[in-house]
Structure 1
Amino acid sequence: MGIVLFVGFAFAVIGLIHFYLWKRLVKDTTRPGKWRRVGALATLVLGLLVPATLIGTRLGVTALAWPGYLWIALMFYLLVVLALLEIPMLVTRIVLRNRATATVQAAEQAAAVKTENTSTLTEPPRDEPNGIDRRLLLARGAAIFAGLTATGITAYGTRTALSAPRIDRVQINLAKLPRSMDGFRIATVSDIHLGPLAGRAHAQRVVDVINRTQADLVAVVGDLVDGSVEELGAAAAPLRDIQSRHGAFFVTGNHEYYSGAEEWLAEVERLGIRTLRNQRQLITAPGGAIDLAGVNDVDGEGSSTGGPDIAGTLRDRDRSIPVVLLAHQPVQVHEAAEHGVDLQLSGHTHGGQMVPFNYLVRLEQPVIRGYAQFGDTQLYVTNGAGFWGPPVRVGAPPQVTLVELRTR
């Protein structure tokens, strides 16, 4: 019942958005006739394209993926730009209406004077047709501006999303870090999202960037895939080429649980990446060590892998050794802080992916991107290297974060 209500609500929202776009981009900019009917039909088709794309890609039908997801991004930015134009448009319409009223009143007064002088009834001139033309011109101008702006933003975001991730470097001090491990580097990558729009070439780009960091250790913190091993196994193959001194480690994200988590955990192990399923691995170096812990994503609750168990993962650990926790979602930092985690590395948020969507993400997660501290626990959230849904990133470029651990 809950799923039915959610789907119904989602369809209603999609319908309302497209009704608003039709109103502003079609009805307000055309007179009754052929072009208004064409615009209405186009709006209907695009409205149906959204659920067709979402449902189709979920069922493995990818034919509509590119046009559908690009339209979702363009739709989003059309909605944002048009919404921002509402107030200035309202003010302009009021000004035009007041001017038209003043003109009519002046004409009526002039006609009245002329009538008194000539004793002839004269119909005062009306400015209404010109007023209608001005309103139509205003609506068309706003529609053109919104269309060009949204298209430009979407094109820029697509280019950004499909480019190689940049390397984001950050230094984080750990009080317990042994001096022999000062400068230990962890290449952190999340949200690669191999799927219908991001295949083997995308995986290879990410691996190439990771290897350029020459990291001591690689942490893949969830949301590797959007599809089954059968569909995406070949696309994930380049991950076997990840290079680092102490190996690569993986924890699940929420999307693994939509794609067959157990199969993917086995596949990731086959590719030479160690999976941490509520487990801890001691990383040793001459003169010191760190505890690398990894927990399942919160969406694992009720699955065969189980949900996160930070308490169990950290039980009986040596508290003189710093612990770095790999947890997909930043929200897990609250429990991590309760159990004395020194540093948590997370992803999940995509840095918001498409500004201003980041403000909505902030309602769910305590941190959208970058560094934060919760008591004695430090948190770093990487933007992620891929994208989900629309192949668009605006204000949140794809990245691999090189975390350099330093002694205080």
Structure 2
Amino acid sequence: MRTSFRLLFVCAAATLLTACGEGGPASAGTAGGDTTGPPPQSPYGATGAQNVRVVPVEIEVIGLPEGWNGMRIAALSDFHLSMWPDNANVARAAVERAIAEKPDVFVLLGDYVGSRRGDFTALDRVLAPLRGRTVFAVLGNEDMLEDPDEPDSLAILTRAALARNGVQLLYNARARFIRNNDTAFIAGVDPYIARRPDWRRAEMYGGIPGGGSTPVLLAHMPVAALTVPTDKYPSVISGHTFCGQIEVPGTPRLTWVNTELFPQEANAASNRIYRVRGSTLFVTCGLGFSFVPVRFGSPPEVAMITLRTVGGVQRDTAAAKGGVNVDSLIQQFTPDSARTEEDTTADEG
């Protein structure tokens, strides 16, 4: 992600769009934009904040606890507050739309500010309406350095911002959640887990306490689904990926996910629900503008995910043997249908 592609597209977009009334990339003093001021002019007739949509999604989860059947999760990802001034307005609008849906849980999937020079007060303004609610989060690749042993001021500042707004960060950890008298867990992992050596992955997953069901795993990057211990986490929710009819080269693209990461996906243009190593993976397209302040054919989205119970002992066994896929929403993937773990070291991050 931190490549010359970013500089090229940011500079080009700033040059082209300034004449149209769009603000350029956020500077150190204006990293989040002003969520209280008037929205910037847009050459497209509506601002990003006005285009935020709620996308309903149902994912069927094998072995979901009975009390969690019908549980609703609002997933928000990729704020990118330091990239463009309007991103804070988009993120705040998305938070408000999510609250209006009255979900059971909110999950934040990473890439919040993404710059040491960023204005973390913008993140405070975005997250303020979520205070006092049940919110879990993971870090994205733009929120921390890949080497956990390096001094990382960005990760420290991001963790502090999440904590003071009441957000529970799941960094190779899990949290208990009770619904309809059924207790289970939501877990979250390091955004770089797919690049870690096998021993480190085992250590990280092993660090998540055992005992009790963990129906949901949060991971910023979809490639993490290839590292999940088989049958341990029946569903994975991720972000990081930009969708749309036109995808900017160098970005984490949906087409790349469908053609390179999960090459047997039948509908490479739009399908964002997968069956990977025994888990159901859903990928949200996120919120913020990244390399350029335009989302071609993919408005900022709040993913409203409803969990549904599916499968029993007999049907699970049949699916594992390559029988008829009992899940009406996902396709059956085997480990051989995706890239090898060695290939994941060069993922889209």
Trace 1:196-215 onto structure 2 (pairs within 5 A). 196-197=83-84, 198-215=86-103
C-alpha distance in 2 between matches for 1:254 and 1:235: 19
Please state whether the residue corresponding to 2:228 is helix, strand or coil: helix
Specify the alignment match of 1:122 in structure 2: none
Label 1:407 to 1:53 Cα distance change in 2 as closer, same or farther (>3 A): closer
**Match status 1:395 vs 2:320:** no
Q: Which residue of 2 aligns with 1:242?
A: 130
Aligned equivalent of 2:238 = 346
- Long gaps (5+) in structure 2: 20-41, 146-152, 311-349
Residue number among 301, 304, 308 corresponding to 1:406 in the alignment: 308
The aligned residue for residue 107 of structure 2 is: 219
Q: What residue identity is the alignment partner of 2:173?
A: Q
Name the residue aligned to 2:217. 325
Query: How far 1:394 moved relative to its partner?
Result: 1.2
* Aligned match for 1:233, one of 96, 112, 120: 120
Q: CA deviation at 1:267?
A: 1.4
Q: 1:226 to 1:67 in 2, by over 3 A?
A: farther
Answer yes or no: is the 8 Å Cα contact 2:90–2:287 preserved in 1. no
Aligned CA-pair RMSD: 3.5
User: Residue 25 of structure 2 aligns with which residue?
Assistant: none
Q: Give the deviation of 1:290 after TM superposition.
A: 2.2
Match of 2:14 among 60, 66, 78: 66
Decide whether the 8 Å contact of 2:137 with 2:168 is kept in 1: yes
Of 259, 282, 286, the match for 1:380: 282
TM-superposed deviation, 1:376: 2.2
CA shift in 2, pair 1:281/1:342, >3 Å: same
TM-score in terms of structure 1 length: 0.56
Structure 2 CA distance for aligned equivalents of residues 364 and 262 of structure 1? 33
1:308, distance to aligned residue in structure 2 (A):
9.5
Distance 1:299 1:387, change over 3 A: farther
**Which of 286, 295, 316 is residue 189 of structure 2 equivalent to?**
295
Deviation of 1:334 (Å): 1.1
Deviation string for 1:3-27 (max 9, x for gaps)?
Answer: 9xx75xx69xxxxxxxxxxxxxxxx
Residue identity in the other structure for 1:266: A
Alignment of 1:72-111 (within 5 A): none
Question: Aligned partner of 1:387: which letter?
Answer: F
1:333 counterpart letter in structure 2: A
Aligned to 1:261: 155
Distance change (3 Å), C-alpha of 1:216 and 1:317: same
Give the deviation of 1:391 after TM superposition.
0.8
Matched residue type, 2:167:
I
2: CA distance between counterparts of 1:349 and 1:327? Answer: 12
Match of 1:172 in 2: 59
Q: Percent identity?
A: 27
The yes-or-no answer on 1:181 pairing with 2:68 is yes
Aligned amino acid, residue 191 of structure 1: D
> Which one has a bigger Cα radius of gyration?
1
Residues 310 and 336 in structure 1, CA contact (< 8 A), matched pair in contact too: no
**CA distance in 2 between partners of 1:273 and 1:204 (Å):** 15
What is the number of residues matched between the two proteins?
Answer: 265
1:298–1:308 contact (8 Å) kept in structure 2: no
C-alpha distance in 2, partners of 1:69/1:395? 18
- Aligned with 1:171: secondary structure? strand
Structure with the bigger RCO (C-alpha within 8 Å, sep 6+) is 2
CA contact (8 A) 1:324 1:343 kept: yes
**Residue deviations 1:334-392, cap 9 Å, x none?**
11153521100000012258347543565664388621112421000001011211011
- Aligned equivalents of 1:347, 1:288: Cα separation in 2: 27
